[in-house]
Each structure stands twice: as structure tokens, then as C-alpha cells.
Amino acid sequence: MVKMIHAADVHFDSTFGMLEVHKSEMRRRETRDSFAEMIRYAKSEQIDLMLLAGDIFESDYVSRETAEMLKEAFASIPECRIVIAPGNHDPYNDTSVYKKVKFPENVYIFTSEDVEFFDFPEINCTVYGYAFTSAYMETSPVCGITPSNPTRVNILLAHADLTSPIARKCPMTPRDIERAGFDYTALGHIHNTDGVHETANGKYYAYSGCFEGRDFGETGKKGAIAARIDKCEGKLSFEARFVYFSKRTYETRRVDITGAENATQIVEKLKSFVKEEGYNETTALKIVLEGFTDPLMKIFPAHIAEQISGLFALVITDETLPLYDCAYLETDPSIRGAFYDKIKPLLDSPDPEMRKTAALALRYGLTALSGADPVDFS
Amino acid sequence: MIIEKIRIECFGNLENRQFEFCEGVNIIEGANESGKSTLAAFIKFIFYGLSSKAKDSGLSERERYVSWKTGSAGGSLILRVGEGRYRIDRAIMSSGQTSENGEKKVTYREGVGIVDLSNNSPIKVKEEPGEYFFGVDADVFARTAFVSQLDGARIDGEKMTQAIENILFSADENVNVQKAIKKLEASRVALLHKNAKGGKIYEFEATRAELEAKLEGARRINADILAKESSLEDTRVRLADIEKKRKLLAGGIKAFENATVLTLFDRLRTLRQMSEEYKKKEGEFCTRYEKDGFVPDKEYVGQLYKKGEARKIAAEKLELERVRLGEAETAANEIRRGVPEFLSEIKDWSSDEQASFRGEGVKKTLALLGIVFGVLALVMLGVGALAKFKLGLDDMGLAVMLAAVFPAALSVLMLVLAGVRAKGLKKLYSKYGASRRADFEAAIITLKLAREKASAADEVTAQARTELDAADRAHKRAEAEFYDLAQKWNNENDLSTVIKAAEEVVAELDKIRSDMSKASEMISMLEVQLAPYDEETLRAESGDQASDEVNAENVAEKRREYDFLTAQAKANEAKLHELEKELAALRPQCENPARIAEKIDLVKAYIEEYTKKHAAYVLAAEKILEAGDGMRENVSPKLAEYTCKLMGGVTEGKYREIGVDSELSVSVNAGGAARKLDYLSAGTQDAAYVSLRLALINTLFRKTSPTVIFDESFSRLDKDRLGGMMRLANTLSENGMQSIVLTSGPREADTMKDIGEYNVITMDRA
């Protein structure tokens, strides 16, 4: 039986959008801490095989400290075989850290865009994989590749994009995976995992997701997939579970603030929301304000966010609509009605961006018509 | 709509009050603070409730009108709409609560109900009663049905013409399309200028470009740093490896060197022993070959050679001088044999030479005198002949001719003497084998030369003899000297034997001494070489070290390897320092590229947000402009039409047209001439304004027209203007619109007496 852990998209030294400088720096440190925790986990759980499916760091930003940290971390678990398939953010090339740094002997790195393999007969396992050598890989090298020794536990370690067959970062489809017939395909590239999938022919594949959320598009807890896989007389047994290592979670929530008449009320409402949801210092929260508000009430999200504490980070965006009685506006014979009449087709536009612009224009227009200042920026 | 009755239970300063109204003009008279405006506010309260928003006074309507004594406000209003009669009941209650942080917070509960009085059943409606009955919101109700104080050309501090234009162009007194568009434009410009060369978006774009350039640089430097750090690390590892190898080699070489040095110590000892032996051998040898304490040495041999050579040269010289003497003597004899016999007997030729010289002179002088005297005799003979025979001078001629005998005789004498002398000379010359003076002189020269040569040969011979003597002496001396030298050590006289024996001794002694000297040199050299070492320490150390790897055969190879590694270490150290220097220079230049990228993301987010807002401002302005155009085309004419209808009544038909002129301002047509509002009388402006307000009500209130409330609107108008306004109110009542005129004096009621029916309600101070 092979005890393995599958992680990907650690993105060491990457940027953290929408955070203050010192918090971004903190997040970069925390990513290293989370990784160190996975290493400790591998040690305590006596993991045989660590699969890293690419984008371990960002070639553009990677620092020597990170390279050294990785080297030391890998060296601290000599009994664990660490296999790396470089991805589009950390491609294997002449300038790559993979090439510049001498990693310990228990680290196996794929170096070619063609499928290669590392055989570990002592654990009856073969790991196949390939490396990105630049930021793009237009076609998948896995096509037509199948495991050569069916008695082994055959694993494919791949940084690939299953979301679109025309993706430029190694497009692959679930059908390709099924046809290749690897017992487990450890995937990297997509940051939000949708769990472990079983193919029609009884094989498994999964994205482990990113290791730490980096922005509000990467919500929820993050970590790695810990799995046990065995093959006995051709019969495959597989069990997997997620192990979370992330220090913080990103959450994006929509809050309806209809009825709030001023900033204080909005702040109160959001404070109760944060409390009810149990968000705390480990949460980077994005709140999208929605609902209907007094058109003359100015909402400055940054000022509101400043008044709410107890979170790692809080970003507020305003998508509220001005509180107008649209039925009334439709029949309003004044300039307001006429203006609404002109904007209305755009509010119903099939283009969501146009709808947003139209809603904003309606708010600004009605504000200006009321004689108030429509300035909505600081 | 007609308000029939109002019952106030509690509202502001009014408590338990009831008012009844007629269908037409209702004039409510009351002193200041009697509650007229509160009554007007109550009407709005019944239809729309109280706003919680703070007004300019700092108090919200709720705070203002909810009684602080009872904590409530409420009452009812009975109205008639068409055929139906309704009652609206409304109450608001306040209650105080203390929040968690100790602050007192007032909450309000409000209740409203509409009762259809035809069957006394409540009507369930979701919206406010005002919206239910009028179809407009509170704002529109307040902006149209409530007419505030008319103050000359201004209403509420705003220019009346502006209000009129607003109504005409936007169907709202308070909405100015141009101003709204200007505000939107100002916001748009603040975000991005039309030429895209200014505004926040432009500034952010510039910042972004700047940051992107910075990022590119930081990425490059970061990559450079990474490469250099890798190189630094590699160099360190390499250096450590080299040091390790060097240390190992150095250990081996050191052990080998110790062993070598110890060997040298052994060698030194041996050499010292040998040196002693050589000294002994030298002593023995010298004893064996000495004569009178002298032992031949190189100098002696040299002297022997020198003396031997000198002896040889002297002998050769003697022989040479002998030959030379023989040659000189032979040469002298040869010269002497070369002179003729007769000449060789002449000892002294100088007197002959002088005699010859003198004889020749005398001979020549005598001959010359003979010739002269002869010539003289001939001349005298000729002259005498001439004188005698030609000139006739016989005597004289003869005398002369006779006289010529004397010279002739002299001439003969002289010539004879000359002949004698010549004979003497001939005899002299014959002695020298010559017949003539020239031969005599040649013989003299030959003789002279032979005599000189013989003399020279004699000198040479004499010189050779002298030289021979000297050579002979020198030879003897050299012989003696050589003998003396040879005798110093050997009794032999034979040069080669002596030299050979001496040379053999010297060679043997030299060999002994050379060996001794070599040993001494080696000892000195080794002593210098071994001075830094302590033999005992080395012996102790060499006991610990084993140098299996290094031996005499490969030590040079190992040393070369060690030297190579040393050079390599030096080169690597230089590289290390170079890299450290480069990194020290690079690191301060490098800002974390991730941080710059984050700043770019932030700027991009701003640009995106502001671009959307910019688009919204542009869209809003564009659509308001379009809407404004639509208003002018569709709504404004209708408003103008209704306004004119009212104005015609008020101004007794003087102004029947109101419209928009080419400059987009309102003008009124009076007798075919359009006149701008600004140039019309204040009364006409009042009429136009109120007419437009009412026209607006007609346009906006689609379900039923509200009661128009004039809140102290006419207090500052003169009598004529007041008359106009009251006529307007009357016109309204004729058109089914109820009006309530709030006033603090009797002027409105007095004016109304001449116009039409009205109802007066007097309010006492609350």
C-alpha cells in the first residue's frame, strides 16, 4: 500500500491581491508555514510519496530563501519520495530554481514536456509525469500514453487544465484521463478543487486545489489530498481525504443592506453578519453589498471596512441599487421618469457589465438630478 | 381630492384639535407659532408618515413632531375622492431603549390604516396612503402640493425663473437638467479628461506604467540575485570541498615532509661522521707526503709549471738568439762581399769628393775665362778691322787689332790651364773606376751604401750577440729557479717527473679535501635547512601520522595537486568576494517584485472601478440629455399649455402663452411679443410659477389632484399680486381643486371677499 499526499499550486512568493503590504508579506510567510506543516504531517504519517503537481512557486518572484526552505524541508523527510511536475508558473528551464538548486536525493523532478516516469519498485509504484518548460503548453503530452507495468500502482502527476479542451496550459479532458488508465491522476492548476472523481473504468483523479487561498476567488479551506492506494492481483483499492493546512480562508459573501439609512447602520449590520457567520482573524472576507439603498446615501466601502475589526482582512464592494420605485419611475412624467425610460433598456441588457454600468448610471443620474453631488470616488 | 376633516390627537405642539374644510379655498389664519405649519406637516404625515432623516435644523420629522410628553403622534383625516369617502388613521409611538454600550436609543413603531367610510371597512394597501390616493411619492407630493413663501423673484431663496425653467424642462421645480449634467461632467472629468490626458484614471494609468516598468526591473534584478545567490552557494560548496581536499592533501604532504626532514637529520649525522673521517685521512696523507713540513699543493704545482715553462722559454730564447747571431753575421759578410775590390780599399772618399768638386769648379772657371777672353779678342779684332777697313781708322783699328792679342793670349792660357785641371780630375776619377764625374759620383754613392749596410750589419750582429748573452743568462737563471723549486719538495730534476709526482699528491689531497668540503657544504646547507625543525618534536609527530597515500614517488604529483587546489581555492574565493560585492550592490536596488505586482493589481482594480464609474457618468449624462430633449418635445408643451390656461385666468387674458425660446429659457407671450420671464413683473412671475406648479400637479398626480397648500406663500406680496394669487386659488376651486392658504393675517380673506367663496379657520396659539 502506498501512502501518499498530493498537493499543488502552492505559489510561494506570489502576490496577494487586495491586501495591505504587510499582510501580503505575512501571507507569503504563512504559505511557507503551511507547507512546513504538510512536511511535518508527511513525517508523522510516514507518507511514502509526496506528489507536487506544479506551480510550487512563482518563477518571477521566487526568492533564494524559498528555494533554501524547500531544499531543507525536502531533506527533512528523506524516507518520503517527493515527485514534482513543474507547472506554468514554475516551468523547468535554464533559469529555473529546479535547475539551479541541488535538491536532496529523495526529490524527483520531471524535466521534459514528454511523459517520463520514476519507478519505485520498493513501494510497487510508478509515477509518470511531465514538466512545463515555459508558461504555455498547447497540447497534452499524455495522449497515447498508458502505464507500462499494470501490476504497479501507476500514478500520473500532471499540471493540466481540465476546464477547457482549448486551454493553453496543457488542455486535458476527463476522457483523456480515463483512456490513459492511470490508477490515480494527481492534478494541479485549478485552484478550487471539486473533489476526487472516479472514472468509468474505476480509476481516480483529482485537483488538490491551491495550498493557500490568494484572493477572493479562492475561497474556503485549502490543503492537500492524503490518500492510500494499493493494487493487489490487479484489484485497486483507493481511499482519500482532504487535509487542510491553510492558515487563512478567503470568503466572499453578499449582504443585503436594504433598509440601512446611513453608514452607521450598514456597519452595524455587517458587524452582526460577521459575528453570526463566525468569521474571525483567520478570515479574509469580501462582502458585496447588495439590495436597495437611499440614492442620496453615499456608500464609501473603504470607510465602512475600517470600522469593522476582528478579521484578517475585509474588502467591501458596493453593488447596491438606488432605492427607486421602478414602477413609479416608469410612470413618472418628470425628467426622472424620462431618464429612467432611457436607461431601462440597458438595465435589461444581456451583458451583465452593461447592466452594472446602467445601474450605476441610474444612481449617478438620479443623484445629480436631485441636486446632490454624484461623486462616488475619493 | 377634498379634505373634509382633520382630527389631531397629538402632533408637534397641536393636541386634540379638529379642523373642517370646504371644497374650495380654505384660509387658515393664525399668529406665528399658532401651529399653521404643523397643520400642513400633519397633512403630509397622514399621507406619508414621518421621515427619520435629519433636516437642516438638525432634527428629523419624527423628533420634531412626536410629542416628547406622550412619546406619540397621531390623528386622522377624512377625505373625499370622487364618490368615495375615506378616513386615514395614523399613529407613531416612540420608546426608549438602552443599547449594549450604554447609549440611549429611541425606536419608533408606526401604524396607519385607511377606512372606506361607505362601509366602514379597512382597505388593505401596501403603499403609503399618499401613494395609494395620488400615485406619487412623498417627495413629489412635498415638491408640488406644498407652495412655500413667494418672495419677490425668489422662492425658498432660489431664483424663481430658475424654478420655472426647471419645472418646464424637467417637470420638477428642483431639478435642473443642465446643473445635473454639469455635475456628472465634473465627475467624469475628475476621472478622465476628454482628451484622456488628465484625471484619476489617467493618473492611475501613469502610475501603472511606472510600476510595470519598475516590476520589469525588479524581476530582472531578482532573477539576477537568484542566479548570483545560487552561484554564491555553489562557490561556497565548491570552496568547502576544495578546502577538504586540500586539508587531506596537506596532512599527507606534511607527514611526508616530516619523514623527509627526519631523513635529512639522519643524513646530517652521517655527513658529520664522514667529515671527521676526511679530516683524519687528510692528516695521514699530509704526513706521508710532506718534505720539511711542505706538502705540495695546487699553487706549488702551478709554480712548477710556471718555472718549468720559464725554463723552457729561456732555452728556446737562447737557441733563437744563437740563430739570430748566426744570421746577422752571415748578412754582414754578404754585404761586404757585394762591394767591388777597388772600392773596398778606399778608406776615405770625402777628400776625393771635395777635390773633385773643387777641380771641376776651377776647370769650369778657367774654360769660361778662356772663352770670354777669346770672344773679347775676336770682338776687338772685329772692331779694329771694322775701324780700319771700313771706317778708315787704320791706326785705331790697327791698335785695336793689336790690342786683341792680349786677350787672345789670356784666352789660350786659360784654356790650357783648364786642360791641365781636366787631366788631374780624370786621374782622380779613374781611381774609382770612372771616367766621368757622373760615374765618379755613382761609385761614391755605391761605396757609401755598402759602407752603411756593412755598418748596420755589424750593429745587428753586435746586438744579436748582446741578446744571446742576455738569453743565456736568463736561461741559466730559469734553470736555477726551477731546480730550487723542485728541490723544495722533490730531489728530482726532471720536469715531468716532478710535476707528475706533485700533481698526483695534489690530486689525491684535493680529492680528500673536496670530499671534505662537499660534506661541510652539505652539513651547512642541511643545518640551515633544518634550523626551523626540532627533531624530537618531528619524531613525536611522525609517530601519529601515517602517509600511506603520499610517498616519494607521488609527492610531487600531490604537491602539484595541492598547489592546483590552492589556486582553485583562491580563484573561488575571489569569485565569492566578487559575487558578494555584486549582491551587496544588487540587493538594495531590488524591491520585492511581488509587492510591486500587488501595487499594480491595486492600481488596476482602481482603474477598472473608475473606468466603470466613468462609463456610468458618461452614460448618465448622455441619457439625461436625451431625456431632457424628450421632455422639451413632449412634456414641456403640455405643461406650458395647462400653465397658460391658468395664467390666462389670473392675468385676465393678458398672458396666454408660455414657452421656451431659442436660448432655452422661458418666455411669456404678451400681445404677440415674447418676453423673457426675468423682464416681467414680479406678479406675472408669481402667476407663471404657481401656474406651472399647478400644471405640474395636473401632470404628475394621475389618480387625483391633491389639496394645494399655500404655506405663507403670499405674505410678502403686494395687494395686486395677492389678488392675482387668490384669483388663481379661486380658479383652482372652480376646477375642483381644494386649496388651503396658511396665513398670519387677514389680507388673504379680505382679498378673497371680492373674488369668490372661501372658508376661514382661525387658529389660536397652541
How many Cα atoms are found within 13 Å in the side-chain-facing hemisphere of A229? 30
- pLDDT band with cut points at 50, 70 and 90 for residue B134: confident
What pairing do the DSSP bridges indicate for beta strands B655-660 and A204-207? unpaired
What pairing do the DSSP bridges indicate for beta strands A249-256 and A283-290? parallel
Residue type, A27: R
What confidence tens digit (pLDDT) does each residue in B83-122 have?
Answer: 899 999 999 998 877 666 666 777 888 899 999 999 999 9
What confidence tens digit (pLDDT) does each residue in A347-362 have?
Answer: 888 998 898 899 889 8
Strand partners, A116: A129
Q: Which residues contact A282 (CB under 8 A, 6 or more apart)?
A: A247, A248, A249, A312
B189 touches A at CB < 8 Å:
no
Contact (Cβ atoms closer than 8 angstroms) between residue A317 and residue A289: yes
- pLDDT band with cut points at 50, 70 and 90 for residue B239: very high
Q: Where are the alpha helices (DSSP H) in B701-740?
A: 719-734
- d(Cα B633, Cα B625) in Å, to the nearest integer? 12
Contact (Cβ atoms closer than 8 angstroms) between residue A116 and residue A133: no
What confidence tens digit (pLDDT) does each residue in A315-337 have?
Answer: 998 888 776 667 777 777 788 88
pLDDT at B221: 87
pLDDT at B543: 65
Dihedral angle over CA of B702, B708, B711, B715, nearest 10: 130
Q: What is the mean pLDDT of residues A243-265?
A: 91
Using alpha carbons, list the distances in angstroms from residue B359 to A306, B421, B439, B447, B475: 167, 6, 16, 21, 61
Chain B positions in Cβ-Cβ contact with residue A19 (cut-off 8 Å): 598
If one counts every other C-beta atom within 10 angstroms of the C-beta of residue B54, the result is 14
List the 31-70 stretch of B: residues with Cβ below 8 A of A.
52-53
pLDDT at B460: 86
Chain A positions in Cβ-Cβ contact with residue B142 (cut-off 8 Å): none
Quick one: which of B74, B3, B97, B112 has its CA closest to B761?
Answer: B3
Q: Which residues contact A60 (CB under 8 A, 6 or more apart)?
A: B219, B222, B593, B597
Chain A residue closest in CA terms to B618: A361
pLDDT at B155: 56
- pLDDT band with cut points at 50, 70 and 90 for residue B4: very high
Q: Per the CB < 8 Å rule, is A356 touching B172?
A: no
What confidence tens digit (pLDDT) does each residue in B253-298 have?
Answer: 888 888 888 888 999 999 999 999 999 998 998 888 888 888 888 8
- d(Cα A52, Cα A277) in Å, to the nearest integer? 34
Nearest residue, CB atoms, A15 vs list B177, B181, B594 = B594
**CA gyration radius, chain B:** 84
Nearest residue, CB atoms, A357 vs list B177, B605, B612 = B612
Q: Per the CB < 8 Å rule, is B598 touching A15?
A: yes
- pLDDT band with cut points at 50, 70 and 90 for residue B667: confident
Q: Which backbone phi and psi does B245 adopt, to 5 degrees?
A: -65, -40
Q: What is the ipTM of this complex?
A: 0.75
- How close is the nearest chain A Cα to the Cα of B720, in Å? 32
- d(Cα B723, Cα B683) in Å, to the nearest integer? 10
Contact (Cβ atoms closer than 8 angstroms) between residue A212 and residue A10: yes
- d(Cα A181, Cα A195) in Å, to the nearest integer? 19
What confidence tens digit (pLDDT) does each residue in B10-59 have?
Answer: 998 889 999 999 988 999 998 888 888 899 999 999 999 988 776 666 67
Q: Identify the three-state secondary structure at position A104.
A: coil
Residue type, B526: L
Chain A positions in Cβ-Cβ contact with residue B105 (cut-off 8 Å): none
If one counts every other C-beta atom within 10 angstroms of the C-beta of residue B253, the result is 20
Q: Identify the three-state secondary structure at position A39.
A: helix
Nearest residue, CB atoms, A60 vs list B169, B219, B605 = B219
pLDDT at B28: 92
pLDDT at B57: 62
Chain B residue closest in CA terms to A15: B594
Per the prediction, chain A carries an average pLDDT of: 91
List the 524-553 stretch of B: residues with Cβ below 8 A of A.
none
Q: Which residues of A277-314 are buried (b: 16+ CB within 10 A; e: fewer)?
A: eebeeebbbbbbbbbbbbbebbbebeebbeebeebbbb
Name the residue with higher pLDDT: B440 or A288. A288
- How close is the nearest chain A Cα to the Cα of B31, in Å? 34
Q: At residue B467, does pLDDT exceed 70? A: yes
Nearest residue, CB atoms, B200 vs list A58, A67, A377 = A377
What's the maximum distance between 2 C-alpha atoms anywhere in chain A?
A: 84
Q: Per the CB < 8 Å rule, is A58 touching B594?
A: yes
* Residue from B237, B591, B604, B623 to probe the interface with A (highest A Cβ count within 10 Å): B623
List the 460-499 stretch of B: residues with Cβ below 8 A of A.
none
Tell me, letter by letter, the H, E, C secondary structure of B28-89.
EEECCCCCHHHHHHHHHHHHHCCCCCECCCCCEHHHHHCCCCCCEEEEEEEEEECCEEEEEE
B191 touches A at CB < 8 Å:
yes
B130 touches A at CB < 8 Å:
no
Chain B positions in Cβ-Cβ contact with residue A356 (cut-off 8 Å): 612
- d(Cα B155, Cα B134) in Å, to the nearest integer? 25
- d(Cα B748, Cα B27) in Å, to the nearest integer? 7
Using alpha carbons, list the distances in angstroms from residue B492 to B296, B326, B484: 14, 35, 11
Nearest residue, CB atoms, A342 vs list B170, B602, B623 = B623
- Write the Ramachandran bin of A101: left for phi over 0, alpha for psi from -120 to 50, otherwise beta: beta
CA angle B733, B739, B744 (to 5 degrees): 130
What confidence tens digit (pLDDT) does each residue in B684-743 have?
Answer: 777 777 887 888 787 778 788 889 998 888 877 778 878 888 888 888 888 888 999 999
B623 touches A at CB < 8 Å:
yes
Contact (Cβ atoms closer than 8 angstroms) between residue A30 and residue A247: yes
Quick one: which of B41, B64, B42 has its CA closest to B52?
Answer: B64
Chain B residue closest in CA terms to A25: B595
- How close is the nearest chain B Cα to the Cα of A370, in Å? 6
Quick one: which of A121, A4, A326, A372 has its CA closest to B186?
Answer: A372
Residue type, B80: R
Q: Per the CB < 8 Å rule, is A334 touching B172?
A: yes
* Residue from A318, A342, A343, A353 to probe the interface with B (highest B Cβ count within 10 Å): A342
Q: At residue B545, does pLDDT exceed 60? A: no
* Residue from B99, B166, B167, B226 to probe the interface with A (highest A Cβ count within 10 Å): B226
Q: At residue B615, does pLDDT exceed 70? A: yes
What pairing do the DSSP bridges indicate for beta strands A223-232 and A2-7? antiparallel
Contact (Cβ atoms closer than 8 angstroms) between residue A318 and residue A299: yes
What confidence tens digit (pLDDT) does each residue in A82-138 have?
Answer: 999 999 999 999 888 898 888 999 999 999 999 999 999 999 999 999 999 999 999
Chain A positions in Cβ-Cβ contact with residue B626 (cut-off 8 Å): 342
Q: Which three cell numbers stand for residue A32?
A: 511557507
CA A320 to chain CA mean position, Å:
27
Quick one: which of B700, B667, B691 has its CA closest to B161?
Answer: B667
Q: Per the CB < 8 Å rule, is B615 touching A365?
A: no
Total length of chain B: 766
Chain A residue closest in CA terms to B632: A335
Helix-strand-coil split of chain A, %, nearest 5: 30, 25, 45
Question: Rounded to two decimals, what is the model's pTM?
Answer: 0.58
What confidence tens digit (pLDDT) does each residue in B335-360 have?
Answer: 777 777 767 777 777 888 888 888 88
Chain A residue closest in CA terms to B134: A328
Q: Per the CB < 8 Å rule, is A339 touching B229?
A: no
Region of poorest pLDDT, from A34-43, A329-338, B307-316, B458-467: A329-338
- pLDDT band with cut points at 50, 70 and 90 for residue B661: low
CA B40 to chain CA mean position, Å:
80
Contact (Cβ atoms closer than 8 angstroms) between residue B712 and residue B742: yes
- d(Cα A120, Cα A106) in Å, to the nearest integer? 11
CA B562 to chain CA mean position, Å:
42
If one counts every other C-beta atom within 10 angstroms of the C-beta of residue B241, the result is 14
pLDDT at A205: 96
B223 touches A at CB < 8 Å:
yes
Q: Per the CB < 8 Å rule, is A377 touching B190?
A: yes
pLDDT at B441: 86
How many Cα atoms are found within 13 Å in the side-chain-facing hemisphere of B292? 5
pLDDT at A134: 93
- d(Cα B661, Cα B642) in Å, to the nearest integer? 18
Chain A positions in Cβ-Cβ contact with residue B181 (cut-off 8 Å): 368
Chain B positions in Cβ-Cβ contact with residue A344 (cut-off 8 Å): none
- d(Cα A76, Cα B458) in Å, to the nearest integer? 125
Q: Identify the three-state secondary structure at position A61.
A: coil
Q: Per the CB < 8 Å rule, is A346 touching B619?
A: yes
pLDDT at B549: 64
Nearest residue, CB atoms, B222 vs list A18, A61, A342 = A61
Contact (Cβ atoms closer than 8 angstroms) between residue A334 and residue B695: no
Q: At residue A21, does pLDDT exceed 90? A: no
% of chain B at pLDDT higher than 70: 93
Q: Which three cell numbers stand for residue B39?
A: 397643520
Chain B residue closest in CA terms to A317: B609
Using alpha carbons, list the distances in angstroms from residue B705 to A301, A332, B144, B701, B756: 42, 15, 10, 6, 21
- pLDDT band with cut points at 50, 70 and 90 for residue B663: low
B640 touches A at CB < 8 Å:
no
- d(Cα B19, Cα B8) in Å, to the nearest integer? 9
Report the interhelical angle of B177-191 vs B593-650 (nearest 10°): 170
What confidence tens digit (pLDDT) does each residue in B167-225 have?
Answer: 777 777 777 888 899 999 999 999 999 898 999 999 999 999 999 999 998 888 888 88
Q: Which three cell numbers stand for residue B263?
A: 631523513
Region of poorest pLDDT, from B235-249, B368-382, B630-644: B630-644
Q: What is the mean pLDDT of residues B636-642?
A: 78
If one counts every other C-beta atom within 10 angstroms of the C-beta of residue A22, the result is 8
Contact (Cβ atoms closer than 8 angstroms) between residue A202 and residue A187: no
Q: Which backbone phi and psi does A106 adopt, to 5 degrees?
A: -85, 5
- d(Cα B403, Cα B246) in Å, to the nearest integer? 149
What confidence tens digit (pLDDT) does each residue in A142-152 have?
Answer: 988 999 999 99
